[in-house]
Amino acid sequence: VHPSMHSSLFPVSSPWDSHAGPHSSLPFSAASPAPRDVYEGDGAAAQLTSTFGWPSLTGGASVCAFLRLFLARGDLLFWVVCVDLALYLLLLLSDPGIHPKRKRGSSAVEELMEILSSPETHADTLAALDLSRLCRTCWIYRPLRTKHCSICDRCVDGFDHHCVWLYNCVGSLNARLFTAWLLLHSLTQFLHLLGCLAFLLLGPDAGGSLPDDLLHQRHPRRLLILL
């Protein structure tokens, strides 16, 4: 207990209590609610990823095959899709800014204890200290804008969100890559739609017009490709 404060900094036993247990000096109890700096995530995130994540990757590969095989002038679109898939794979394997975990009861907490017990620590510093920034899973004192993702079970610097399509977090190290991939992927989907429509309307057998019976009688495969 600091002499300038009226209550203890810790909701559990003091670390200097001789009768305290090995983990009684923790700045919060094990039953305390999760701090606001913890991203709990959705329980269905893993299911969404397994349902839509890899199918989107294989779907992109099928778009490559479609553009390469069926479009006479699809070389540019083909390479755009290839770059889109390459960025997607880079995001899957990218580091969003992970803070390494520490063993329970080591370094970070002990260093904080030394700071709190030091006579050089001023009362203003103690009052401004946010103990909720102590991660009880990774055992680190989180910097600003750092949150713990319960899905990945790690603290991410500059945490923005956990992307279920990538099964990876978006943080300070891959935020720009994620933004670039979103823009390129939107362009790829738009070009894919234009390519399908051009293939249906401007095919070698279409003749520049598309009567009502032409699509169903002479071009059933093109309709299936568009769907």
Other Cβ atoms less than 10 A from the Cβ of 2: the count is: 16
Chain CA centroid to CA 115, Å: 34
Q: DSSP character for 132?
A: G
Q: What is the pLDDT of residue 187?
A: 87
Q: What is the pLDDT of residue 197?
A: 76
For the segment 150-178, what is each residue's pLDDT rounded down to a tens digit?
888 889 999 999 988 888 999 999 999 99
Indicate the SS3 state at residue 187: helix
Q: What is the pLDDT of residue 175?
A: 92
Q: Which of 217 and 2 is assigned the larger pLDDT?
A: 217
Tell me, yes or no, if 163 is annotated catalytic: yes
For the segment 20-50, what is each residue's pLDDT rounded down to a tens digit?
444 434 444 334 444 455 555 544 444 444 4
Most confident listed range (43-47, 85-89, 122-126, 137-141) = 85-89
Q: Please identify which of the residues 135, 149, 163, 196 carries the catalytic annotation.
A: 163
Q: Which residues, in sequence order, are bridge partners of residue 183?
A: none
Nearest to 25 by CA among 112, 155, 83, 99: 112
Distances (CA, A) of 215 to 192, 208, 212, 227: 19, 13, 7, 13
Nearest to 46 by CA among 146, 182, 152: 152
Q: What is the pLDDT of residue 145?
A: 86
Determine the longest span between alpha carbons in the chain, in angstroms.
91
Indicate the SS3 state at residue 172: coil
Band the pLDDT of 125: cuts 50, 70, 90.
low
The C-alpha atoms of residue 227 and residue 205 are separated, in whole angstroms, by: 20
Chain CA centroid to CA 40, Å: 12
Q: What is the pLDDT of residue 167?
A: 85
Q: Quick one: how many helices (H) and strands (E) in the chain?
A: 8, 8
The C-alpha atoms of residue 135 and residue 154 are separated, in whole angstroms, by: 10
